[in-house]
């Protein structure tokens, strides 16, 4: 199995969305930027790296789009795609790509050589490009509760947990979060502390997103997460396994998404994308004006493939 990743790279062109299509000299085709995973690389990191290498543009990842699969000289190949906003850079012809065009989505679709690339572009076009984003993290592995005699709130990460936290510190910035929130548990805070330090921001404690704070009033916990999304645009939220599946299940039901499973491994991430409310928003507004979940993608691990 050949694993690859890519992106629909987009930019705002005076209020309209343009996407990048690239011409590959070797194949004489027009495609979306993509390429094979390097050893020890995650799929999101590969998508961002390939964008830079093929287009010259630094990007910020957005929602997950879809996976395509096809045969290459008899071998099965899968390509996972993300939306990605161009934030800086410029195109310079390179060994792989000799031309790049910024085009409106409909025009780009007519230029792309392959049907599977057009399918990816159609999924990108199904929703607005500029969405709110919450990276909902379950805390990394901690020491066994049976072997911890002190307050469970203070139970620290294990050695394996610190490795997961380091991997998250590398992975989560691909989505360019601006704030870090955490349930008031040492293990929750330490899981994302490195991200907060890199951003030079203080972590915000979220009692309503801890297990004992959430279950007496799940609606209040849900509203708090929506408030984080609406006010900050892009945020990391570290919580617990007794909270995250309920939150994601409720949000998908409210958003009308088809999601039958809600896994929540330690150190995993749900990438949640929401519509933006019109105008100024507050929790006192009618629920019809709250952000709506439109995409939920689960990353079982921040650790790279062997």
pLDDT in tens, 42-56: 999 999 999 999 999
The per-residue pLDDT for range 220-245, each reduced to its tens digit, is 999 999 999 998 999 999 999 999 99
Measuring CA to CA, how many Å separate 183 from each of 32, 191, 275?
39, 11, 24
Whether 109 is covered by a domain: the verdict is yes
Are 99 and 240 in the same domain? no
Whether 289 is covered by a domain: the verdict is yes
pLDDT of 160 strictly over 80:
yes
Are 42 and 136 in the same domain? no
Reported confidence tier of residue 146, pLDDT bands at 50, 70, 90? low
The per-residue pLDDT for range 250-263, each reduced to its tens digit, is 999 999 999 999 99
The residues, any chain, with a CB within 8 Å of residue 296's CB and separated by 6 or more, are: 248, 251, 252, 257, 259, 270, 271, 272, 273
Reported confidence tier of residue 150, pLDDT bands at 50, 70, 90? confident
Percentage of the chain lying above the pLDDT 90 cut: 87
Domain boundary among 78, 96, 125: 125
The per-residue pLDDT for range 85-143, each reduced to its tens digit, is 999 999 999 999 999 999 999 999 999 999 999 999 999 999 999 999 999 999 999 97
The pLDDT of 27-33, averaged and rounded, is 96
Q: What is the CATH number of the domain that holds 116?
A: 3.90.79.10
Q: How many CB atoms lie within 10 A of CB 221?
A: 23
Beta pairing partners, 82? 7, 64
Query: What residues make up the domain containing 60?
Result: 2-125
Q: What angle do CA 87, 58, 66 make, to 5 degrees?
A: 95
pLDDT of 151 strictly over 80:
no
Residue 214 backbone phi and psi in degrees, to 5: -80, -50
Percentage of the chain lying above the pLDDT 70 cut: 97
The pLDDT of 301-305, averaged and rounded, is 89
The residues, any chain, with a CB within 8 Å of residue 274's CB and separated by 6 or more, are: 131, 132, 133, 134, 226, 229, 230, 291, 292, 293, 294
Are 148 and 117 in the same domain? no
Whether 304 is covered by a domain: the verdict is no
Q: What is the number of domains present in the chain?
A: 2
Are 11 and 52 in the same domain? yes
Whether 306 is covered by a domain: the verdict is no
Q: What is the pLDDT of residue 305?
A: 72
Look up the pTM and report it.
Answer: 0.95
Tally the C-alpha atoms within 13 A of residue 31's C-alpha that lie toward its C-beta: 22
Q: What angle do CA 158, 164, 165 make, to 5 degrees?
A: 90
The pLDDT of 2-26, averaged and rounded, is 96
Are 53 and 155 in the same domain? no
pLDDT of 287 strictly over 80:
no
The pLDDT of 278-285, averaged and rounded, is 70
Are 161 and 284 in the same domain? yes
pLDDT of 306 strictly over 70:
no
Q: What is the pLDDT of residue 90?
A: 97
Q: 230's torsion region: left (phi>0), alpha (psi -120 to 50) or beta?
A: alpha
Are 113 and 8 in the same domain? yes
């Amino acid at each position: 199995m050949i694993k690859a990743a890519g992106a629909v790279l987009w930019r705002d062109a005076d209020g309209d969305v343009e996407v990048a299509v690239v011409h590959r000299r070797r194949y004489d085709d027009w495609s979306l930027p993509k390429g094979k995973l390097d050893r020890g690389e995650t799929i999101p990191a590969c998508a961002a790296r390939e964008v830079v290498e093929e287009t010259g543009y630094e990007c910020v990842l957005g929602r997950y789009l879809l996976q395509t699969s096809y045969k290459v000289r008899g071998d099965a190949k899968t390509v996972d795609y993300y939306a990605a906003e161009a934030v800086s850079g410029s195109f310079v012809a390179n060994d792989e790509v000799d031309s790049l065009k910024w085009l409106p989505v409909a025009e780009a679709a007519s230029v792309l050589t392959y049907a599977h690339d057009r399918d990816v572009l159609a999924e990108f076009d199904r929703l607005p490009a500029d969405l709110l984003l919450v990276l909902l993290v379950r805390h990394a592995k901690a020491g066994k509760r049976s072997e911890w005699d002190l307050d469970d709130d203070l139970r620290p990460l294990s050695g394996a947990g610190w490795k997961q936290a380091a991997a998250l510190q590398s992975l989560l910035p691909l989505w360019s979060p601006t704030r870090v929130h955490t349930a008031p548990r040492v293990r929750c805070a330490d899981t994302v502390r490195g991200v907060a330090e890199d951003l030079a921001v203080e972590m915000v404690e979220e009692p309503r997103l801890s297990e004992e704070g959430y279950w007496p009033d799940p609606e209040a916990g849900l509203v708090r997460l929506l408030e984080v999304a609406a006010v900050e645009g892009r945020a990391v939220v570290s919580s617990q396994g007794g909270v995250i599946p309920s939150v994601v299940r409720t949000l998908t039901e409210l958003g009308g998404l088809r999601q039958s499973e809600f896994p929540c491994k330690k150190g995993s991430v749900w990438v949640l994308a929401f519509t933006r409310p019109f105008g100024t928003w507050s929790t006192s507004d009618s629920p019809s004006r709250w952000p709506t979940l439109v995409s939920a993608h689960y990353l079982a691990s921040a650790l790279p493939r062997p």
